Amino acid sequence: MPIESRWSVPVPEVSLPTWLFGSSPSGPLPDRRSFIDTNDPDHRYLTFSDFRLWAKRVGLGLRTAGLRPGDKVLVFSGNNLFYLPVMISVIIAGGVFTGASPSFTSRELKHQLVDSGAALMLAGNAILDVALEAAAQAGMSKEHVYAFDSTPAGLNRAKQAKVAESEHFSWSEPSDPRTATSCLNYSSGSTGVPKGVEITHRAYVAHSEAFYWHRHRDPKFDETRDPGSVLCFTPLYHAMGQANFVFVHPKLGMSVYIMAVYKFENMLKHIQHFGITNFMCVPAIPLSMTKSPLTVREIVCGTAPLAPEVARATEKLFPSGRVLARQGWGMTELTCTGMVWDPTVAQPDESLHSAATREAIVEEGGKLWLRTGGIAYVDKYAPGGKVRLVDRAKELIKAKGFQVAPAELEAVILERNNVADAGVVGVVINEQEVPRAYVVKVGGANITGRDIAQWVEGRLARYKWLKGGVVFIDSIPRLQSGKILRRVLRSRAEQEVGDKVQKLLAAKLA
């Protein structure tokens, strides 16, 4: 039975840039400081007007460089002040943005280049060598790889246009925002290597409008009050970073402080120094924050489950009732957030992988339903009914908020000599889920767990490393179809590491 939200929010039928900047590409915009570099806040910032101008400059430059409508542009960079206008510039130019983790190896980056069919790549200077290596492996000409960094001058190689030319540059509205793709965000899905999820203009506008609408109906909302500020340390290539720090918060008039590199101690200093009022994070951070004083008035946590006891302990840091630690649930396939406060619904467009789409989408009663892979129960079948998420059925591991597909790790392990079979599951150590590998040797091969771990470390990003350990066993439990019986491996891991997973689930149900 469908559970409807008690509210319905009208969604403008416009492009994402038009929703963000307004219908006039050169009309006046607020001169407030929208984006600020935490390393040099007095000199390195962008007003909302600067944001649009730089997006138009780079967008016009991309068109001059040969970008055609619908072309994919892969941005390979860590967080920096100019990541935000570069992302919007791709969409303004009529292209499709796809972001990749700056921790990717050339092997991982090559997969996304090939899978997305990217026509151009914009890479951070610090990781340009990885970008060029991946481009060569993917058959992309180095002439299609541009470098940029966190300064305006660094965008020169990204074909920035002159101010005078870009002032009057106008982006084109897509013929149908419901079907025109704005972003191709990569998700691990339920199995296999990461897959691109096409997010349409309308999907992002609907998602953003729902948050915008909810904020304005909040009884505590006051248009005369300073809208507040947020600290961005979430990766901007990730849907959570895009949805909140590029679209929603700037539109609400909030100041977004950008951290180039996340360090817990620096994060606390920035919260106090800049008077950060709104906070979005992953579950590991509230656990650490319970020991530190803060100025925050709102906390929203996502990407993985937040244990109730951690949420309550975090709230007790503040005067009674001042702060509520909320939890959001979502998927890349839902643009970002599916439920937070009261749920809204977003519909994904057609996937690049038709087989995976057929497995995920169910048609019933003339409507399309998405299998989320979550395990939940409903305590009220009515508008605004409560859905309680207790676990996920799909195989994904959530390591520090990042999706890790066991099949990807298994494929890498099986490439090593003297490995006959492998199975990977997640284990919880120190309140963090991490990958753990079970490996079958070939014959009496002389290999160690450290050998396997180092093999993975040389080929995959740090958050995919086998920090849960490597265990050698005689055989991997499988069905006759060949599918790994992960529940058997999980049960074994719980006995070996400790039944912490079940304790977390019990806490959620309490």
Sequence-distant contacts of 357-360: CB under 8 A, at least 24 apart: 359/190, 360/189, 360/190, 360/333
368-377 in b/e burial notation, b at 16+ Cβ within 10 A? eebebbeeee
- pTM equals 0.67
3-state DSSP of 209-258 = HHHHHHHHHCCCCCCCCCCCEEEECCCCCCHHHHHHHHHHHHHCCCEEEE
- Number of separate domains in the chain: 1
CA distance 205 to 201: 6
Does the structure show a pLDDT above 70 at 389?
A: no
- Residue 470 resides in a domain: yes
Task: Work out the average pLDDT over 305-331.
Answer: 71
Does the structure show a pLDDT above 60 at 154?
A: no
- Residue 414 resides in a domain: yes
- Residue 417 resides in a domain: yes
- Residue 177 resides in a domain: no
- Residue 405 resides in a domain: yes
Q: Running DSSP on this structure, what letter comes out for residue 155?
A: G
CA distance 386 to 97: 35
What residues are paired with 363 via a beta bridge? 368
Under a CB-based contact definition with an 8 Å cutoff, are residues 62 and 121 in contact?
Answer: no
Q: So what's the pLDDT on residue 150?
A: 65
pLDDT band per the 50, 70, 90 thresholds, residue 501: very low
Least confident of 59-73, 243-257, 384-398: 384-398
Token pair belonging to 135:
């481009």
412: number of Cβ within 10 Å = 21
H runs (alpha helix) in 93-245:
106-116, 128-138, 163-167, 201-217, 239-241
- Residue 35 resides in a domain: no
Give the CA distances from residue 349 to residues 115, 177, 178, 204, 487, in Å, rounded to whole numbers and listed in that order: 17, 11, 8, 12, 32
Does the structure show a pLDDT above 70 at 220?
A: no
Residue 491: what residue type?
A: S
Helix (H, G, I), strand (E, B) or coil at 99: strand
Here the CATH number for the domain that contains residue 501 is 3.30.300.30
- Residue 233 resides in a domain: no
Under a CB-based contact definition with an 8 Å cutoff, are residues 283 and 302 in contact?
Answer: no
Which structural domain, as residue segments, surrounds residue 488? 398-509
- Residue 17 resides in a domain: no
